[in-house]
């Protein structure tokens, strides 16, 4: 039985590499020629450490949500309405980037969030300050709950009927501090397995002269809480 001459094979490979100028002659006694060919053929182009980087669980996923404008509501009743919601599945963290408010009279007489009112969160003659905007943290099990809405002649302690608990980053406020499309810098977090829900309380007294239509929108980024980037983003992301 005859065996292939490995020396002759290596010599042929080395000669071919030398002829093409891809092998340094000073290295020919340090590595077998076959390994030299593999070393010389390696690409110097940087490669991603993972495949399908766009599907990486560490990536930031944007959520933008609104329930759209409310209908024209009965002026004789108090109302509590859910305006927007951001959901954060278990094992993730949410970074709230933007809060937006919209408020307008259905008859077109006053638009509290129009551009000429930017930077003017209060109004001395129009009762927009009687409305209260609220944020609540509620458990999220993966199911999408119906939009919350409650109305009564007098709601009384309306906070007691809201789901979840007050959001510590921004429990509630009144006035148009975050007018729609005017993206002020905002930074807040939503913990794993929770949903952030934005509400507005509209008493009947605020509708004595105006028929309000309201809306709110939340923008956030959701990311796996198991990666080091999530800890940094919770501290610095704006």
What gap in Å lies between CA 66 and CA 158, rounded to an integer? Answer: 22
Using an 8 Å Cβ cutoff, are 102 and 216 in contact?
yes
**Is 71 a domain residue?**
yes
Domain of residue 169: give its range: 59-236
Is the pTM higher than 0.95?
no
Positive/negative CA dihedral, 193, 198, 204, 205: positive
Question: Are residues 19 and 127 part of one domain?
Answer: no
Question: Are residues 95 and 200 part of one domain?
Answer: yes
What gap in Å lies between CA 97 and CA 184, rounded to an integer? Answer: 9
Question: Are residues 222 and 155 part of one domain?
Answer: yes
Question: Are residues 153 and 112 part of one domain?
Answer: yes
**Is 147 a domain residue?**
yes
Q: Which of 30-34, 101-105, 137-141, 223-227 has the lowest mean pLDDT?
A: 30-34
At 224, is the secondary structure helix, strand, or coil?
strand
Question: Are residues 64 and 115 part of one domain?
Answer: yes
Res 165 pLDDT > 90: yes
What gap in Å lies between CA 206 and CA 217, rounded to an integer? Answer: 22
Using an 8 Å Cβ cutoff, are 140 and 89 in contact?
yes
Q: Which of 22-36, 128-142, 171-185, 220-234 has the lowest mean pLDDT?
A: 22-36
Q: State mean pLDDT over 15-40.
A: 62
Give the total number of structural domains in the chain.
2
Question: Are residues 24 and 140 part of one domain?
Answer: no
- Cα 31 from chain centre: 52
pLDDT score of 85: 97
Cβ contacts of 217 within 8 Å, gap of 6 or more:
64, 65, 66, 83, 84, 98, 99, 100, 102, 180
Question: Are residues 225 and 120 part of one domain?
Answer: yes
**Is 66 a domain residue?**
yes
Higher pLDDT, 130 or 26: 130
């Amino acid at each position: 039985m005859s065996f292939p001459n490995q020396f002759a094979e290596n010599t042929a490979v080395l000669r071919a590499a030398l002829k093409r100028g891809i092998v340094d002659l000073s290295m020919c006694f340090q590595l077998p020629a076959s390994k030299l060919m593999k070393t010389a053929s390696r690409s110097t182009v940087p490669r991603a450490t993972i495949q399908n980087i766009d599907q990486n669980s560490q990536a930031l996923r944007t959520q933008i949500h609104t329930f759209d404008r409310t209908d024209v509501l009965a002026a004789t009743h108090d109302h509590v309405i859910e305006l927007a919601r951001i959901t954060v599945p278990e094992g993730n963290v949410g970074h709230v980037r933007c809060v937006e408010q919209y408020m307008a009279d259905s008859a077109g007489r006053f638009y509290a969030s129009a551009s000429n009112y930017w930077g003017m969160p209060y109004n001395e003659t129009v009762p927009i300050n009687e409305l209260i905007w609220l944020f609540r943290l509620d458990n999220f099990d993966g199911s999408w709950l119906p939009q919350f809405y409650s109305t009564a002649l007098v709601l009384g302690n309306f906070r007691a009927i809201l789901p979840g608990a007050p959001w510590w980053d921004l429990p509630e406020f009144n006035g148009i501090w975050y007018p729609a499309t005017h993206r002020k810098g905002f930074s807040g977090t939503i913990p794993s397995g929770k949903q952030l829900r934005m509400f507005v309380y509209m008493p009947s007294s605020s509708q004595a002269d105006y028929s309000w239509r309201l809306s709110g929108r939340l923008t956030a980024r959701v990311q796996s809480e198991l990666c080091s980037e999530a800890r940094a983003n919770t501290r610095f992301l704006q």
